[in-house]
Each structure stands twice: as C-alpha cells, then as structure tokens.
C-alpha cells in the first residue's frame, strides 16, 4: 500500500473517531447542565480543557465559566428561566459553537469531519464507495449553515446525528472492507484515537475536582462519574458488569477492561494486532519502534491494577498513557509514512 494512502487512511479514521467523541462529550454535559444547573460550575471549562484548547477558547469567546464564582445563584436562576424558554445560555452556545462548528478550532467536530473527508478524498478508490458516501454526507451535513442553526436550538438532535454518523461510517467500513492493509491502518488509527479520547474523558473528573475537591463521595460525585461513563459511551455496559457507580470500578472498566470496546486496554491491544497484521511480526517481539512502543504499553496495561492507578494518582497515570500514545503515533509515522 502507498505510504501516502496508508497515512490518509490512518488520519481519516482518527478524525472521524475524534469528531464522534467530542460530540458525545458535549452532549452529555449539556444534559448534565439541564439536570443540575446550580452544580454545574467549572463543567464547561473542563469539557473545553479535555476536548480542545482552552487557551484558544478563552481568546475567542472569553473564559468558559467567567461568571461562575461571582454569580452562581443568579446563574442558576437565569438558567432555569432559559431552560424553561428552551434556550441555551450564552456559555453553552459558545461551547457548542467552539467545539462543534468553529473551523478555527482544529478539533471541532466540523474541522475533524472536514479533515477526515479531505483524507478520504485522496483515498476514495481504496475505501468502499459506501464508506465514502457516509462520510461525505456527514461532512455536507455538519458544514451546512442550517445545521448550525438547528444545533443551537436543538442540540440533542444534532449530537445524536453526529454519534449516528460516526457509527455508520465505522459500521460500513467493518461491513465492506477486506481485512487487508487499508483496513488495518484505518482500524489502528481509530483505536489509538479512541484510547486517547477515553483517557481524556476520564481525566474530566480531575478537572472537575480541581476547584476544591469538595464533592467527593456525594451525590454530585456520582453524577459526575455517570456523566463520564456516558461521555465514554460506557454507561450501559458498565451497569451490566458492575452495577453501582464506584471510582475504582470505573477506572477498571474504562482503562483495563478486556471486553469493552472503548477501554484503553481493549483499544491498545487491538491496535497492536492491526499493527502486527500489517507487518507480520509475531507477538512478543518487535522490528520497529512502533511495535516496541505499542507492545510495551499493551503489556503494561495487562499487568496493571485499578487500585494501583488510583493510589498513585489517576491524573498522572492518564497523562503518562497519553504521552505513550503520542510517542506511538510518532513512531508509526516514522515507520510507515515518512518513507
């Protein structure tokens, strides 16, 4: 397979996954806002932090929760009124604009989908025409001005559409592409992006707690955790396995589970098998830096316990995993695309 084509497939899938993940995250937090308007302080700031670049957001729209400290009660009242009127507060509108539509933000849904499509356009003879068509329709939809207007008045429907489009594209590819190189490069991109997104979503908890850690062990704490599970698309599957919400179990589920398709370990393991399907190198050995880095991370996750992660600091652990994923991305570039 052409190096350029392999790279385009990899990035196409990464950006589709990223768009879907950002969409899910914003959607969940919009729901949270409607459930708990007065307990919502700091939430948007955290969402912007994990999904994008909060400095860029602040430059463009002012701080996400600028009035949080001074006017919590007034805001709660305003929000109640707004909610009754069926409108979003300015903050939420800004966040939706920034994370969903702002083309200056390279990680907004619209930017991700446009980048994915640009990559797909250069490989459209490689992916199936059905997959191309799904992505093209997604792009036409997300970039149309009508969609933007409708999203601000009915965000739930918009984000449902984003999730569905992400699933549709992945599903069409699963159903239509031979399990050959093109498929494995694209799957590897999707899984590495997903692993990264899951660590970011889990890190949301860290940013939420920053203001004073006062909510630990309360009902609010539970609601935060549930929001995190939902943002990771994990709530229903978590419930089936563990039932009650508890921090250590959530970490175990989102980081270490071997069966849940969005857990970091699942993603890393399967990305590794795609990598080895491409190179033909047997497991437990390596011939290039990409295999070495990804194999090492996979082994580490195989022998890690949730309590250990929490004990030594979840945020720091997630930070390290992210750094290793980045490094793996670099070595994939060096091994396959730089040629």
Q: Which residues are near other proteins by CB under 8 A? A: 1-6, 114, 118, 121-122, 124-126, 129, 132-133, 136-137, 140, 181, 185, 278, 336-337, 339
Q: Which is nearer to other proteins, 115 or 263 (CB)?
A: 115
Nearest C-alpha neighbor of 230 from the set 259, 198, 256, 266 = 198
Task: In angstroms, give the least distance from the CB of 110 to other proteins.
Answer: 12
Q: Which is nearer to other proteins, 179 or 214 (CB)?
A: 179
Q: What is the DSSP letter of 38?
A: G
Q: Which is nearer to other proteins, 3 or 316 (CB)?
A: 3
Q: Which is nearer to other proteins, 3 or 149 (CB)?
A: 3
Task: In angstroms, give the least distance from the CB of 61 to other proteins.
Answer: 25
Task: In angstroms, give the least distance from the CB of 131 to other proteins.
Answer: 12
Q: Which is nearer to other proteins, 114 or 195 (CB)?
A: 114
Q: Which is nearer to other proteins, 65 or 102 (CB)?
A: 102
Task: In angstroms, give the least distance from the CB of 198 to other proteins.
Answer: 27
Q: Which is nearer to other proteins, 94 or 335 (CB)?
A: 335
Task: In angstroms, give the least distance from the CB of 280 to other proteins.
Answer: 9
The token pair at 6 is 């392999």
Q: What is the DSSP letter of 288?
A: S
How many C-beta neighbours within 10 Å does residue 240 have?
A: 7
Task: In angstroms, give the least distance from the CB of 119 to other proteins.
Answer: 10
3-state secondary structure 293-337: HHHHHHHHHHCCCHHHHHHHCHHHHHHHHHHHHHHHHHHHHHHHH
With beta carbons less than 8 A apart as the criterion, state whether 265 and 256 touch: yes
Q: Could you give the C-alpha distances from 79 to 40, 74, 88, 302, in angstroms and in order?
A: 11, 8, 8, 45
Query: Who contacts 83 (Cβ-Cβ below 8 Å, separation ≥6)?
Result: 34, 37
Which segments of 52-180 does DSSP mark as H helices, in order?
54-61, 72-85, 90-96, 109-121, 129-142, 145-153, 155-176
Task: In angstroms, give the least distance from the CB of 164 to other proteins.
Answer: 16
The Cα–Cα gap between 229 and 57 comes to: 25
Handedness of CA 186, 5, 124, 112 (dihedral sign): positive
With beta carbons less than 8 A apart as the criterion, state whether 64 and 56 touch: no
Q: Which is nearer to other proteins, 140 or 156 (CB)?
A: 140
SS3 of residue 177 by DSSP: coil
Q: Which is nearer to other proteins, 71 or 137 (CB)?
A: 137
Task: In angstroms, give the least distance from the CB of 335 to other proteins.
Answer: 9
Task: In angstroms, give the least distance from the CB of 165 to other proteins.
Answer: 13
How many C-beta neighbours within 10 Å does residue 195 have?
A: 29
């Amino acid at each position: 397979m052409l190096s350029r084509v392999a790279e385009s497939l990899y990035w196409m899938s990464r950006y589709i996954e990223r768009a879907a993940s950002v969409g899910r995250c914003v959607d969940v937090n919009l729901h949270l806002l409607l459930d708990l308007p007065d307990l919502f302080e700091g939430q948007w700031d955290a969402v912007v932090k994990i999904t994008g670049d909060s400095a860029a957001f602040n430059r463009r729209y002012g701080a996400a929760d600028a009035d949080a400290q001074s006017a919590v009660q007034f805001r709660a009242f305003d929000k109640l009124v707004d909610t009754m009127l069926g409108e979003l507060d300015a903050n939420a509108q800004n966040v939706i604009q920034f994370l969903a539509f702002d083309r200056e933000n390279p990680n907004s849904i619209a930017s991700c989908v446009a980048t994915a499509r640009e990559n797909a356009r250069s490989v459209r003879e490689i992916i199936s025409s059905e997959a191309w068509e799904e992505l093209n329709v997604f792009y036409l939809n997300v970039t149309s001005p009508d969609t933007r207007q409708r999203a601000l008045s009915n965000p739930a429907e918009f984000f449902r559409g984003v999730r569905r489009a992400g699933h549709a594209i992945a599903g069409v590819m699963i159903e239509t592409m031979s399990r050959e190189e093109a498929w494995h490069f694209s799957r590897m991109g999707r899984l590495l992006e997903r692993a990264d997104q899951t660590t970011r979503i889990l890190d949301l908890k860290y940013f939420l707690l920053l203001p004073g850690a006062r909510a630990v062990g309360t009902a609010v704490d539970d609601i935060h955790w549930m929001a995190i599970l939902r943002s990771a698309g994990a709530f229903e599957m978590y419930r089936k396995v563990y039932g009650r919400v508890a921090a250590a179990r959530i970490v175990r589920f989102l980081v270490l589970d071997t069966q849940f398709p969005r857990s970091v370990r699942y993603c890393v393991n399967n990305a590794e098998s795609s990598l080895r399907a491409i190179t033909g190198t047997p497991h437990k050995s390596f011939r290039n830096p990409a295999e070495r880095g990804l194999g090492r991370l996979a082994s580490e996750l195989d022998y890690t316990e949730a309590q250990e992660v929490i004990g030594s600091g979840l945020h720091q652990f997630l930070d390290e995993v992210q750094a290793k994923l980045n490094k793996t991305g670099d070595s994939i570039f060096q091994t396959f695309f730089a040629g």
